[in-house]
């Protein structure tokens, strides 16, 4: 813990942590130390973890990178976090992120952007950028982030580490501030598949506090990692032919395909005709859900309240206008628009239908093939400020990650080389729902 605290101090310019729980982490380390000496330690004894600022941890502040939650303190600990604490994990702090997890660069935080340690003029990706950099630059061993449309995988790829998004409903969302509830998943940042698998098996599984969480049995993923099977793998033609993909990323994926063939796997091109529709579908459905989820921040129940109101209505309006950032406001407006009476069918209902088709097409491929392989992001980490003026450009950073989110299936980003300037490239693998053990074992083989 002392060593991590020192690194956090030395690299404070990266703007990774919104709050460091230094005293508390040191005290917990002493307790864990004693448990180890007595042979009574949990399975995560000594594992130092950071939490994205959207996960409830009792008695600690929580802001979702937003001013609207200024002064708010969690009243309880979320299920996933509690399960880690019960196994003697040590939580070192909460990490900076895009406001309410909306963004792809961690520049939408009310507390300033996070900086990528691999290139200090570059973004770390988003929205869980602080979590990614906390692991990348050794400020902790592992971090919890959230992935609604790519917010774990894309920053992991920009920072050269492992980012895992489990099957939707594999891990309880109790104690996770909602962005788009039918997409939100808790995911992990780590250096190794072993750590990823161990933490997943501890967090996953049934929970009385979240009625959507799956009853599928949780396997001991961390003991099922040795696997030298030969697989059937599909690669999608469309992403590799996309005008958005950069040469180094394309080269890395082609290289992976060649390597996998040499390694004895069957790797074949398949068609996926919905690439043009995944982003619009994702952004219509998630903004609709966000507009509803974020209606609770009204200046009454939590955090910030405008001082300049004259009645209830102006209190709502001013509190929300003053404390929500631009991107969050844009999404609330977009979401209320697609849910409004005259446009509901044209946008929201249509996007629900498109989601079904994308799910079906993805799962059809995964019936025939063990995995789908594709880039995590079209490019390596871009420059700070490069896309902040144009939200549509920013949304394109999620072009390849949203498919797994819309389909609800598990996906991972693993580091696969660098470009000429030393910026990391990520390779993405997708498996069918609840095939976490297969996905993790194969990822370990590649890594
Ligand atoms: N970048 C995507 C968005 O802004 C994904 C966010 C996420 O996964 N939380 O919606």
Measure 101 CA to ligand 1 centroid, in angstroms: 6
pLDDT at 264 over 90: yes
Query: Residue 56: what pLDDT?
Result: 98
If one counts the domains in the chain, the total is 1
Q: Over range 191-217, report the average pLDDT.
A: 97
pLDDT at 228 over 90: no
Q: Tell me the pLDDT tens digit for each residue of 72-85.
A: 999 999 999 999 99
Atom of ligand 1 nearest to the CA of 183: 8
Helix ranges (DSSP H) in 388-435: 391-395, 402-407
Measure 151 CA to ligand 1 centroid, in angstroms: 5
Residue carrying structure tokens 């079209």: 378
- Other beta carbons within 10 angstroms of residue 255's beta carbon come to 14
Query: Residue 320: what pLDDT?
Result: 96
The residue that leads in pLDDT, 179 or 228, is: 179
Instruction: Name the phi and psi angles at 33, rounded to 5.
Output: -55, -45
Token pair, residue 332, equals: 């609330």
Kindly state the percentage of the chain with pLDDT values over 90.
95
Catalytic residue, candidates 52, 104, 134, 413: 52
pLDDT at 120 over 90: no
The preferred substitution site among 52, 99, 103 for testing ligand 1, maximizing ligand atoms within 8 Å of CB, is 103
Mark whether 12 is an active-site residue. no
The secondary structure of residue 346, as a DSSP letter, is I
Instruction: Name the phi and psi angles at 172, rounded to 5.
Output: -60, 140
* Domain housing 31: 1-447
Q: Tell me the pLDDT tens digit for each residue of 142-193.
A: 999 999 999 999 999 999 999 999 999 999 999 999 999 999 999 999 999 9
Mark whether 131 is an active-site residue. no
CATH at 388: 3.90.1300.10
pTM of the model: 0.97
Mean pLDDT of the chain: 96
The gap from C-alpha 81 to its chain's centroid, in whole angstroms, comes to 15
Return left, alpha or beta for 381; rule: phi > 0 is left, psi -120 to 50 is alpha, else beta.
beta
Residue 227 — pLDDT band, cuts 50, 70, 90?
confident
Q: Is 78 exposed, middle or buried (0-12, 13-18, 19+ CB in 10 A)?
A: buried
Q: Over range 54-65, report the average pLDDT.
A: 98
Question: Taking a C-beta distance cutoff of 8 angstroms, is the pair 79, 207 a contact?
Answer: yes
Catalytic residue, candidates 104, 105, 106, 127: 127
Kindly state the percentage of the chain with pLDDT values over 70.
100
Residue with CA at minimum distance from ligand 1 atom 4 = 103
424 strand-pairing partners: 418
Token pair, residue 304, equals: 């910030």
Cβ–ligand 1 contact at 151 (below 6 Å): yes
Atom of ligand 1 nearest to the CA of 126: 1
Rg, the chain, Cα only = 21
* Helix, strand or coil, per DSSP, at residue 240: helix
Q: Crossing angle, helix 275-293 and helix 326-339, to 10 degrees?
A: 100
Residue 351 — pLDDT band, cuts 50, 70, 90?
very high
Q: What is the DSSP string of 166-204?
A: --TTSB--TTB--SSTTT-EEEEEES-HHHHHHHHHHHB
Atom of ligand 1 nearest to the CA of 394: 1
Mark whether 52 is an active-site residue. yes
Query: Residue 309: what pLDDT?
Result: 85
Q: What b/e sequence results for 149-177 when a residue is b if at least 16 CB atoms lie within 10 Å of its CB, and e otherwise?
A: bbbbbbbbbbbbbbbbbbbbbbbbbbbbb
Query: Residue 392: what pLDDT?
Result: 87
């Amino acid at each position: 813990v002392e060593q991590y605290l020192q690194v956090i101090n030395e690299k404070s310019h990266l703007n990774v942590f919104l709050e460091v729980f230094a005293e508390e982490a040191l005290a917990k380390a002493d307790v864990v130390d004693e448990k180890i000496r007595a042979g009574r330690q949990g399975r995560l004894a000594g594992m130092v973890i950071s939490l994205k600022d959207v996960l409830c941890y009792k008695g600690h502040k929580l802001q979702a990178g937003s001013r609207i939650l200024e002064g708010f303190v969690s009243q309880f600990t979320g299920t996933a976090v509690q399960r880690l604490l019960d196994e003697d994990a040590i939580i070192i702090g909460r990490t900076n992120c895009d406001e309410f997890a909306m963004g792809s660069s961690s520049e939408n935080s009310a507390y300033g952007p996070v900086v990528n340690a691999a290139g200090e003029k570059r973004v770390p990706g988003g929205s869980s950028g602080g979590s990614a950099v906390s692991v990348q630059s050794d400020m902790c061993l592992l971090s919890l982030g959230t992935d609604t449309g790519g917010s774990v995988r894309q920053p992991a790829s920009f920072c050269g580490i492992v980012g895992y998004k489990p099957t939707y409903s594999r891990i309880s969302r109790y104690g996770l501030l909602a962005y788009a509830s039918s997409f939100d998943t808790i995911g992990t940042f780590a250096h190794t598949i072993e750590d990823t698998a161990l933490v997943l098996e501890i967090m996953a599984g049934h929970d009385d506090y979240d009625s959507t969480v799956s009853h599928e049995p949780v396997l001991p993923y961390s003991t099922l990692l040795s696997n030298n099977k030969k697989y059937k793998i599909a690669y999608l033609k469309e992403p590799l032919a996309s005008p958005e993909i950069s040469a180094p990323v394309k080269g890395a994926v082609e290289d992976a395909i060649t390597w996998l063939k040499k390694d004895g796997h069957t790797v074949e091109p398949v068609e996926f005709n919905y690439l043009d529709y995944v982003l619009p579908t994702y952004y219509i459905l998630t903004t609709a859900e966000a507009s509803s989820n974020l209606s609770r921040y009204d200046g009454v129940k939590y955090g910030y309240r405008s001082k300049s109101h004259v009645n209830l209505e102006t209190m709502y309006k001013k509190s929300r206008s003053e404390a929500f950032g631009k991107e969050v406001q844009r999404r609330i407006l977009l979401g209320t628009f697609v849910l409004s009476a005259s446009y509901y069918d044209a946008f929201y209902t249509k996007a629900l239908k498109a989601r079904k088709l994308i799910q079906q097409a993805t799962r059809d491929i995964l019936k025939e093939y063990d995995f789908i392989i594709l880039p995590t992001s079209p490019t390596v980490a871009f420059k700070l400020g490069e896309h902040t003026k144009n939200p549509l450009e920013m949304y394109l950073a999620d072009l390849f990650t949203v498919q797994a989110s819309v389909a609800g299936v598990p996906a991972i980003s693993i580091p696969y080389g660098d470009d000429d300037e030393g910026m990391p490239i990520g390779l993405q693998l997708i498996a069918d729902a609840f095939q976490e053990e297969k996905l993790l074992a194969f990822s370990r083989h590649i890594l």
